[in-house]
Amino acid sequence: MSADTSYLAGQWAQVRDRVDAACRAVGRDPAEVDILPVSKTFGVDLVRAAVGLGLHRFGENKVQEIREKAPPLADCGIEWVVIGHLQTNKAKDVARLASEVQSLDRLELAEALHRRLRHEGRAIDVLVQVKTSPEPGKFGLPPAQLPGFLDLLRGYDSLRVRGLMTMATHSSDPAEVRACFRLLRELRDQGMAQGHDLEKLSMGMSGDYPLAIAEGATELRLGTAIFGRRDVTPG
């Protein structure tokens, strides 16, 4: 895909306007809601064009894509955010290249990341991914296990727990989608009441972000809304 900067600038302005309008429609301050551009499957040129618009954090599903894009974009000061399901054998690359992981969902992964981060002498922000949808294909920690998992994460000083992430059910019924987002917000509130620092709620994508905003999202993960349709179907 060619990097048409003027088109991208227009898309970004439209997305920001739509997000701001969705915030105001439910009585929220637009400054409370950040946008994480999701650059998965999009090329280096397009990411560089987005950097030219002042964007510096990008979400990627696959660590392999970060590994391929990071060297040619090393001069851009990009913070790479892992948002896809993460295998423990990718912990080494994550510890070296990523600034944040939003898909932490099991102790085995926390241990692998902590071990590699200690080796690198780094610490990164993490969000715990919670499975709020009944769909079998969705990843995430079962809600009932969240309190105990958050307590265990206190023992990993290389993992700065900042909040929670979820993917809502794929449904045409807004009530079902909102229920997923509402559950995550309630879990966040419960966790904060127990002394955990969980200010971030990463929820809402290009197809459902107004519903996520209505339920308290603080960060939206938007790809096609900014960059356009993908040329490749992600695996």
DSSP code per residue over 62-131: -HHHHHHHTGGGGGG--EEEE-S---GGGHHHHHHHEEEEEEE--HHHHHHHHHHHHHHT--EEEEEEB-
Cα separation, 212 vs 174, in Å, equals 10
Question: What phi and psi values does residue 94 have, to the nearest 5 degrees?
Answer: -60, -45
Q: Exposed, middle or buried: residue 186 (CB in 10 Å: 0-12, 13-18, 19+)?
A: middle
Please list, in sequence order, all residues whose beta carbon lies within 8 angstroms of the beta carbon of residue 97, skipping any fewer than 6 positions away: 63, 66, 67, 70, 80
Confidence of residue 154 (pLDDT cuts 50, 70, 90): very high
- Which pLDDT does position 1 carry in this prediction? 39
Per the prediction, the chain carries an average pLDDT of 94
- Which pLDDT does position 137 carry in this prediction? 86
Sheet bearing 98-104, strands edge to edge: 34-37, 219-222, 200-202, 159-165, 124-129, 98-104, 79-82, 57-60
Taking only the tens place, the pLDDT of each residue in 170-222 is: 999 999 999 999 999 999 999 999 999 999 999 999 999 999 999 999 999 99
- The domains of the chain are located at 5-227
Confidence of residue 160 (pLDDT cuts 50, 70, 90): very high
Residue showing tokens 């090329």:
43
Confidence of residue 2 (pLDDT cuts 50, 70, 90): very low
Is pLDDT above 80 for 34? yes
Is pLDDT above 80 for 233? no
- Which pLDDT does position 5 carry in this prediction? 82
Domain 5-227 has CATH 3.40.50.11890: no
- Which pLDDT does position 115 carry in this prediction? 98
- Which pLDDT does position 202 carry in this prediction? 98
> Above pLDDT 70, what percent of the chain?
96
Q: Residues 26-44: what's their mean pLDDT?
A: 96
**Secondary structure element (H or E) that encloses residue 193, with its range:** helix 174-193
Taking only the tens place, the pLDDT of each residue in 59-105 is: 999 999 999 999 999 999 999 999 999 999 999 999 999 999 999 99
